[in-house]
Chains A and B, each alone.
Chain A
């Protein structure tokens, strides 16, 4: 990079960088998990719609990595592909595998878990974006406004699946309830802003995590009324707090796969 890096207030820069890594890594990992469904979704129409959403989400991650690049943190592609698990700031819920098996060998992926995880995450993301539009860091506010445009469709898509599967009789409802419990067990990890959350709020980068959590719960409430399940429920961080760099071995596997080509010939120009 020959251009002079952008900057925020020097004392607030660390909080800004932390926030951007959370936003970027969240979108990047859930888009990656989503992309593993390619060819495996319940029917061909959904396969296309879901792939398109994953590409959108990967694009959102790219915009956040770009902001980090402009702040002098390194090239966006490097930030996405090369950073090891302990440097990742994504919520653990988003790195968990889609289910047993492997996408190349006997995938036994769980569509119910995918629907719930994506629906929960997309609602939390929408609330965050709403807040980010007023961020003190203008380039971030501008990116948030852009991403918001695509969130309407993502929400419509996941809300439709969530309500229909949960209200379907028999196995579908049983599996959805189990998936809701599994997602809730790690949803606190999505809602937290980590150790620098208070700084992020103080510097006007985003609202505090309590406010965001309350708004996310409220955003999910109507769907739970539709499906007749008590809400809110207890949220946990069963598999660790990704904002602190705590991750599962599944993240190592995911990073190894997604960076395989990048690592094969690091000097290659794309």
Chain B
């Protein structure tokens, strides 16, 4: 690269397929400035698919986590209490109660009160 390094910059390209689709990272490209980057982005990465929005951002402007900081990403594997696995059988329970037949004997046993 050498001399070119000052002229071309790396741009990251993001796009949405439809208006309410999530923003997706597509690719990166080389361009001298953001206008050229935008013009290149469309035909390089979204030529054969529908697209409703395009973002480009100079990679230099992105604050990335560095190698040292990646240490902060580590977690102990003891987080069961934070997980909602306990609710996993709710659907099954609902199905069970919905299937109970409310016969005469059952309703009379409530003695005028709705049993909850």
Question: Which residues of chain A have a CB within 8 Å of any CB of chain B?
Answer: 43-46, 48-49, 52-53, 153, 156-157, 160-161, 164
Contacts and interface: CB of A to CB of B under 8 A. Distances in A.
A160 B39 contact: yes
Nearest to A44: B30
A52 B47 contact: yes
B33 A164 contact: yes
A156 to B, nearest CB: 6
Given A43-B30, A45-B29, A45-B30, A157 B39 contact: yes
A153 B8 contact: no
A46 B32 CA distance: 12
Given A43-B8, A45-B29, A45-B31, A164 B36 contact: yes
B57 interface: no
A26 to B, nearest CB: 22
B33 A49 contact: no
Top 6 A-B residue pairs of the complex, sorted by shortest distance between their CB atoms: A49-B43, A45-B40, A52-B43, A160-B39, A45-B29, A48-B44
Interface of B: 8, 29-33, 35-36, 39-40, 42-44, 47
Nearest to B47: A52
17 contacts: A43-B8, A43-B30, A45-B30, A46-B40, A48-B43, A48-B44, A49-B40, A49-B42, A49-B43, A52-B47, A53-B43, A153-B43, A156-B39, A160-B35, A160-B36, A161-B36, A164-B33
Contact of A153 (B29, B32, B42): B42
A45 B42 CA distance: 10
B69 to A, nearest CB: 31
B75 to A, nearest CB: 40
B44 A49 contact: yes
